[in-house]
Amino acid sequence: MKSKFLRFLLVVAATYTFSALAQTGSAATPSSPAAAPANAGTNPAAPAINGTKVGTINIEGAVFGSNEGQRDMLALQKKYEPKQNELKQQNDELEGLKKQLSAQEGKLSEDAAANLKKQIEGKQKSFDRSVQDAQEEVTNQQQEIFSRILAKVAPVVVKYSADNGYGMIIDISKQWPQGPVLLSGPNVDITQAVVDLYNTQSGVPAPAVPAASKPAAPRSPTTPAKPAVPKPSEPQKQ
């Protein structure tokens, strides 16, 4: 049975509440140069959150839609291109054997058919293991990118909220019912404003993004394109 090649979509769980973002903004992140205070002996105080406005942010979109996020995701795609090609070759070989078995069904001797089926099963298991390993690697790499950039974006969210009178910011990375917000409009969304502010602060220029692999717009609740990893093909029916 022909396997389907699907774009491997990874949804990174954004479990950070606004209070957690405020805590992140109140302390510099030692491993992040952008977050390190100018004076190593002091930590800047978190801005006071005393506003009354309620806003929304797609925190995944803000992280991956920033220039830094787009740059790192494109680098991740480039890194896994050889693995994608390797998996495609394995899949093509496996599909060729399956077609051979189907075309010669009833024509092969019992031993020849059994040997071919055994060969298919072995390659199927090897292919599925390779796909699973690749998916786990991509997942871990994207989570690392998300966490690293989030640590620097979070203080920007806190500062923007304090400067513009917001008392609560709600993450809308996931649409209802997976997320808590049933409905929200663009007038309360601060995602693009945070992205613009962070891009200015980080100094990372906008990368040249090919049209086919351009990450989703920051306002979108979807995550950007990830390195495509083939879906494990279905076992050959006996």
| Domain presence at residue 100 | no
Give the pLDDT band of residue 211 (cuts 50, 70, 90).
low
205 lies in some domain: yes
162: in domain: yes
Q: How far apart are CA 22 and CA 215, in angstroms?
A: 27
- pLDDT score for 213: 52
Residue 138, pLDDT above cutoff 50: yes
CATH number at residue 140: 3.30.910
What pTM, to 2 d.p., does this model score? 0.68
**Count: domains in the chain:** 1
| Residue pair 99/105 in contact by the 8 Å Cβ criterion | no
Q: What is the pLDDT of residue 109?
A: 87
Rg (CA), the chain: 24
Percent of the chain with pLDDT over 70: 68
Residue 69 inside a domain? The answer is: yes
Tens digit of each residue's pLDDT (9 = 90 or more) over 146-205: 999 999 999 999 999 999 999 999 999 998 999 889 999 999 999 999 999 999 999 999
Give the closest residue to 64 by CA, choosing from 179, 219, 229: 219
Vertex 216, ends 146 and 200: CA angle to 5°? 65
Structural domain range at position 203? 18-26+47-76+135-213
The answer to whether the beta carbons of residues 10 and 142 sit under 8 Å apart is yes
pLDDT, one tens digit per residue, over 1-42 is 333 322 322 233 232 323 333 333 333 333 333 334 444 334
Burial grade of 220 (CB within 10 A; 0-12, 13-18, 19 or more): middle
Domain for residue 64, yes or no?
Answer: yes
Measure the CA–CA gap between 231 and 142, rounded to whole angstroms. 18
Q: Is residue 67 part of a domain?
A: yes
CA 170 – CA 20 distance, rounded (Å): 12
Pick left, alpha or beta for residue 144 (phi over 0 → left; psi -120 to 50 → alpha; otherwise beta). alpha
Residue 108: per-residue pLDDT: 86
In a domain, 104, yes or no: no
- 65 in a structural domain: yes
